[in-house]
Amino acid sequence: MEFNKVAIKSLTLVDQVEEQILSYIVKNKLTSGTEIPSEFILAENFNVGRNVVREALSRLRMLGIIESRKHKGMVVREPDVMKNFSKVVNPYLLSKQSLLNLLDLRVSIESGITELIIHNITDEDIMEIESIVSKHIYQDEMKLKVENEIEFHSKLYHITKNQAIIDLLEMILPLFVYVNEKHENFKPINEKNKGKLIKHEDLIPFLKNRDVDGYRQAIYNHLKAYSEYVKQNRIIY
Amino acid sequence: MEFNKVAIKSLTLVDQVEEQILSYIVKNKLTSGTEIPSEFILAENFNVGRNVVREALSRLRMLGIIESRKHKGMVVREPDVMKNFSKVVNPYLLSKQSLLNLLDLRVSIESGITELIIHNITDEDIMEIESIVSKHIYQDEMKLKVENEIEFHSKLYHITKNQAIIDLLEMILPLFVYVNEKHENFKPINEKNKGKLIKHEDLIPFLKNRDVDGYRQAIYNHLKAYSEYVKQNRIIY
DNA sequence: AAATCTATATTTGTAGGACATAACACACAT
DNA sequence: ATGTGTGTTATGTCCTACAAATATAGATTT
């Protein structure tokens, strides 16, 4: 576990040590629970100050790759794949283009998980969805309270039983809330899509019939009408 | 910019300061390029040691939320949404379940972007894809060289022109490589799917015909056969 | 007055010392 | 065998110090 100090000029020592520690974990295939050397030992081995090691460890700790137990030592952990997203998926930190990209990504995933949903969904799920929809409060012809939006779609995500999908989509959902609040009079209705506007309750029959193609088309139209409206009316920022 | 030190016992000072600085940026809607106070000032304001501030800043720097210019000061930056993923999306750091979740996520996205692809694709794109496919080298009845796999699918991703989608899928692709190499004799063929196995060249006609439903079904079968095989044969680990 | 040089202050990156606190290990006494 | 006490270790935090590069202001020169 040695490396050539200042081998790459543009990187700081912290950057290099971070990389070295990570590659030390990966190369040695250290699994969750494995202890790693103390800060002092690491600093000695890398021939750097302890605070350099601490900064590098601090980053890995944030990523969830290591966990430090106070006064005991550090161990390797399995990182939460999506968790680190949440800090940067923030409408105030991202550009308009990034937000639009994420909204389109959501449309793609949410229609792309159709097979998973139709395959996994139970009658209990459908009953729960009907219960959620029945509580819906339309503030407008089309605009739901954001809590209702989140509750409904989040329920759909959980049917996939895929935690990566659930986490990723639930992370993007707040962006929708942000956009929604930015535009009080949001009405995703225009000449083109007036006929095929889909509300939450319209999705239920497709779920009941386990109609893959029908549901996919419906959820796509449901989301696309919204995202097209956002783009065309430039309601972000 | 003050906060109650040790307000939450379980969090370290670094955790709290990191949160405070991030919320300082978000609340004040600091946009890319805005300068933020020096480490010394921050440490003074938060009433903590400078290294605590440095550790917190080091994390935000890694996320791309701030950038520090040596000897000059720090500025706010727009973080790269997907970049931070790459460090943790590593087969040696993730559990088998997480890998499977990501492979399923890939199937969902890659079939979910069908509309984007068919809508955006140009004749030049199709020619390029045909060129890529013509270079394909089958090492086996079904197994391609990983470079070919990556080149083909990566080209599809770029047609979406959505950087979030491109980055996310290109991050998951190496996991496929890992799984592929884990199993030398990979043959995603069994009784059930023998008839509907889709190779890369089989996708091209659907692209040419701008056939949304046909392409979606084909890419889904192409990927699903593989991912089902991975699951059923437990070839990870 | 304008341009140029110079000294000083600022800021990040890095090193290293110090201490509190908690957990652990081990010897020792009961 | 159990309990006690002591010393060691590890992380978390604070502090000082300095190098190097940059910006700034002031002095000097033209």
Same domain, B100 and B71: no
Same domain, A45 and A94: no
**Structural domain count, chain A:** 2
Same domain, B107 and B224: yes
pLDDT in tens, B8-36: 457 899 999 999 999 999 999 999 999 99
- Provide the pLDDT for residue A9: 53
Q: Which pairs count as long-range contacts for A22-30, CB under 8 Å and 24+ apart, including other chains?
A: A22/A60, A22/A65, A22/B87, A25/A65, A25/A66, A25/A76, A25/B92, A25/B93, A26/B90, A26/B92, A26/B93, A29/B92, A30/A76
**Is B185 or A121 the better-scoring residue by pLDDT?**
A121
CATH code of the domain in which A192 resides: 1.20.120.530
Partners of A68 in beta bridges: A74
Q: Which domain holds residue B214?
A: 85-233
- Provide the pLDDT for residue B225: 78
**B6 within some domain:** no
B69 CB-to-strand C distance under 7 Å: yes
Same domain, A89 and A64: no
**pLDDT band (50, 70, 90) for residue B176:** confident
- Provide the pLDDT for residue A141: 62
**B20 within some domain:** yes
> Does the distance separating the beta carbons of A58 and B93 come in below 8 Å?
no
**B3 within some domain:** no
Same domain, A146 and A99: yes
Same domain, A116 and A204: yes
- Provide the pLDDT for residue B192: 54
- Provide the pLDDT for residue A199: 87
**pLDDT band (50, 70, 90) for residue B58:** very high
pLDDT in tens, B200-234: 999 999 999 999 999 999 999 999 877 777 777 66
**pLDDT band (50, 70, 90) for residue A6:** very low
Per CB-CB distance under 8 Å, the chain B contacts of A92 are: 25-26, 29
**pLDDT band (50, 70, 90) for residue A2:** low
Same domain, A94 and A120: yes
Lowest mean pLDDT across A112-126, A210-224, B147-161, B166-180 = B166-180
Same domain, A62 and A116: no
CA A63 to chain centre: 15
Using the predicted structure, report yes or no on whether residue A58 has a pLDDT greater than 70.
yes
- Provide the pLDDT for residue B89: 94
**B169 within some domain:** yes
Same domain, B119 and B229: yes
**B8 within some domain:** no
B192 exposed, middle or buried (CB, 10 Å; 0-12, 13-18, 19+)? exposed
Same domain, B96 and B191: yes
Q: How many CB atoms lie within 10 A of CB B215?
A: 23
pLDDT in tens, A203-237: 999 999 999 999 999 999 999 877 777 777 665 55
B34 CB-to-strand C distance under 7 Å: no
ipTM score here? 0.89
**A167 within some domain:** yes
- Which of B51, B55, B105 shows the shortest C-beta gap to A165? B105
CATH code of the domain in which A34 resides: 1.10.10.10
Same domain, A70 and A116: no
**A56 within some domain:** yes
